[in-house]
Chains A and B, each alone.
Chain A
Amino acid sequence: MESLIKFIDVSFSYSSDLEHGLEALAGINLEIEDGEFVAVLGHNGSGKSTLAKHINALLVPTSGKVVVAGIDTQDPERLWEIRQNVGMVFQNPDNQLVATTVEEDVAFGPENLGIPTAEIHHRVDEALEVVGMSEFRLHSPHQLSGGQKQRVAIAGMIAMRPRCVVLDEPTAMLDPVGRREVMQTVIKLNREENITIVLITHSMEEAILADRVIVMEEGRIVLTGTPREVFSQVEALTRLRLDVPEITSLANRLRSRGFAMIPNDILTIEEMVNVLCRFE
């Protein structure tokens, strides 16, 4: 079976950089399978948001090709089909909600797809249920917390029944409770609704939840693997100026002090405690 998302030798330059030969994406080859949860890490300017915007044809490659659900994103005839397949959630919860009530907001996408009213009602109910916001359906979006706003934005996406949701730093502006709410929702979409997830993030705690982690630098994919494979490379990540979970860098420091029995791929407190218990 073909991958849901396919990048084939994709390069991209923003028009202002074209004459300087600066590439925001430089020869990206990537395949994401249906149902996968992929986290994309990298510091600002590494190209990760540019990559994300290629998945739903907000940007199209300068050279190379992006194919989503079998559709070439450069085919203008099928733009809406791509956008219906790939929903996008952005960083700022205040910039994404448009309507005066939560339910109208969630209905906005399917209405634009020309779906019959009865079906829209059904989809709105279902989408609000999935993100756990049903009781707020008649609220005005501005009364909600940041985490709740992001969940409504996500509901708006899933009401379009996409196969994939791309989230561009959805928790960057949220507090710890909001972060947890949004991440629980993301995991639920993936595990229960079988929606493919591409999560752009700076947070290692979030990336750990993914099936696969991709690290970007200067428009290229520089590291890829399971969270454990990627996070065990503490030095490479530090060189890329990315965060490593505190507990993982602690394990790494202890190892370099000669405590060889401590593995370099510890990700959680429990794992560290277990190792130390065994040592005793």
Chain B
Amino acid sequence: MEQEALRNVSLTIEDGEFVGLIGHTGSGKSTLVQHFNGLLRPTSGKVFVDGADIFSKDVSLRSIRQKVGMVFQYPEYQLFGETVFEDVAFGPKNMGVPDSELHDRVDQALGLVGLDLSLKERSPFELSGGQKRKVAIAGVLAMQPQTLVLDEPTAGLDPKGRDEVLSLVAHLHQKENKTIILVSHRMEDVARLAKCLIVMAHGRIALEGPPEEVFREADYLEEIGLGVPQVTRLLQVLKKQGFDVNPDHYTIDAVESEIVRLLETK
């Protein structure tokens, strides 16, 4: 039996954009992102990165993988080096970065993820779960990709670890101008960071647009196993009950102002 994991997906992501990609397990979101750097080849259709058809003969996939860095789910399971340095240096080394430059690359990447440089000679396996994940992310950053795809980067972390990773992603976007594609099923997280959401269901793009537009489809999102942030749901329920509120808010700050306005006009 042949099943299509993706069906007729057309999408464009601009340089410097922050896209949240959401969908239930099996929706095709992980399959989709593996097309972004040529890990998977479409059965039909084409993928362009930076104007180049990534599967044409004169484009090297290596150059594409340098441009589009991929942080997989539970990336710490892929650590293998005897030292943190060895692990982080592995990618750039394979890309042909000269040894003289490797130390700078590693230091810079560890700096970005907020790990102390004194950890360089430690075994990655001695570190905490959150630190291991940062080492794995540093390994991708050391290749200096322009675009970063992160597949559920906060899965399995505690709230503190999750906030650290999300702040890192926000920093990479705002300060390093990287294009970010964040795959997640935590609506609160993607809504806080992404300007544009893509919702996948059954191998297709089901919804696409800014968070406030996508969240208007709360019932549909529930139906496909997702949902909307709790505070957005509150505004929607209030609206339905005849309150004069704008339901298009999804951060706790904005919802707070909206409720305050409501209470003060009483």
Expressed in whole angstroms, the minimum distance between the Cβ of B68 and any Cβ of chain A is: 24
* Residues A269 and B230 in contact in the complex (CB < 8 Å), given A172-B155, A175-B225, A280-B266: yes
Is B238 within 8 A of A250, CB to CB? no
* Residues A246 and B229 in contact in the complex (CB < 8 Å), given A173-B156, A175-B25: yes
* Residues A44 and B160 in contact in the complex (CB < 8 Å), given A175-B225, A246-B231, A269-B230: yes
At the interface, yes or no: A118 with Cβ under 8 Å from chain B? Answer: no
Question: In the complex, which of the residues A91, A172, A202, A253 contacts B256, with contact meaning CB atoms closer than 8 Å?
Answer: A253
At the interface, yes or no: A249 with Cβ under 8 Å from chain B? Answer: yes
Cα distance A269–B24 in the bound complex, in angstroms? 23
Residues B152-182 near A (CB distance < 8 A): 155-161, 163
Q: Count of chain B residues with Cβ under 8 Å from any Cβ of A?
A: 37
The closest CB in chain B to the CB of A46 belongs to B158
At the interface, yes or no: A245 with Cβ under 8 Å from chain B? Answer: yes
At the interface, yes or no: B97 with Cβ under 8 Å from chain A? Answer: no
Is B241 within 8 A of A44, CB to CB? no
Cα distance A44–B156 in the bound complex, in angstroms? 10
Is B231 within 8 A of A247, CB to CB? yes
Residues B198-245 near A (CB distance < 8 A): 225-227, 229-231, 233-234, 237-238, 241, 243
Q: Which of A52-60, A228-236, A270-278 contacts B (4 or more CB under 8 A)?
A: A270-278
At the interface, yes or no: B129 with Cβ under 8 Å from chain A? Answer: yes
Cα distance A267–B157 in the bound complex, in angstroms? 23
Expressed in whole angstroms, the minimum distance between the Cβ of A15 and any Cβ of chain B is: 15
Is A44 within 8 A of B25, CB to CB? no
The closest CB in chain B to the CB of A44 belongs to B158
Expressed in whole angstroms, the minimum distance between the Cβ of B244 and any Cβ of chain A is: 10
Complex interface: chain B residues within 8 A of A246 (CB): 188, 229-231, 252
At the interface, yes or no: A242 with Cβ under 8 Å from chain B? Answer: yes
Complex interface: chain B residues within 8 A of A137 (CB): none
Complex interface: chain B residues within 8 A of A249 (CB): 252
Q: Count of chain A residues with Cβ under 8 Å from any Cβ of B?
A: 33
Complex interface: chain A residues within 8 A of B25 (CB): 145-146, 175, 177-178
Question: In the complex, which of the residues B128, B252, B262 contacts A250, with contact meaning CB atoms closer than 8 Å?
Answer: B252
Complex interface: chain B residues within 8 A of A178 (CB): 25
Is A254 within 8 A of B256, CB to CB? yes
Is A45 within 8 A of B128, CB to CB? yes
Is A269 within 8 A of B237, CB to CB? yes
Cα distance A254–B211 in the bound complex, in angstroms? 24
Contact with B along A246-262 (1 / 0, CB 8 A): 11011001100101000
* Residues A177 and B260 in contact in the complex (CB < 8 Å), given A44-B161, A45-B128, A250-B255: no
At the interface, yes or no: A241 with Cβ under 8 Å from chain B? Answer: yes
Is B129 within 8 A of A44, CB to CB? yes
Which of A175, A243, A253 is packed against the most chain B CB atoms within 10 Å? A175
Assuming A176-B226, A178-B25, what are 7 further A-B pairs, CB within 8 angstroms?
A91-B156, A145-B26, A173-B156, A176-B185, A241-B159, A273-B237, A279-B263
- The 10 A-B residue pairs with the shortest CB-CB distance, nearest first, are A246-B230, A177-B225, A241-B160, A44-B158, A175-B25, A43-B158, A172-B156, A243-B159, A247-B230, A246-B231
30 contacts between A and B (CB under 8 A): A43-B158, A44-B128, A44-B129, A44-B130, A44-B158, A44-B161, A45-B128, A172-B156, A173-B155, A175-B225, A176-B185, A176-B226, A241-B158, A246-B231, A247-B230, A250-B255, A250-B256, A254-B256, A254-B259, A254-B260, A254-B263, A257-B256, A259-B260, A259-B263, A269-B230, A269-B233, A273-B237, A273-B241, A276-B238, A280-B266
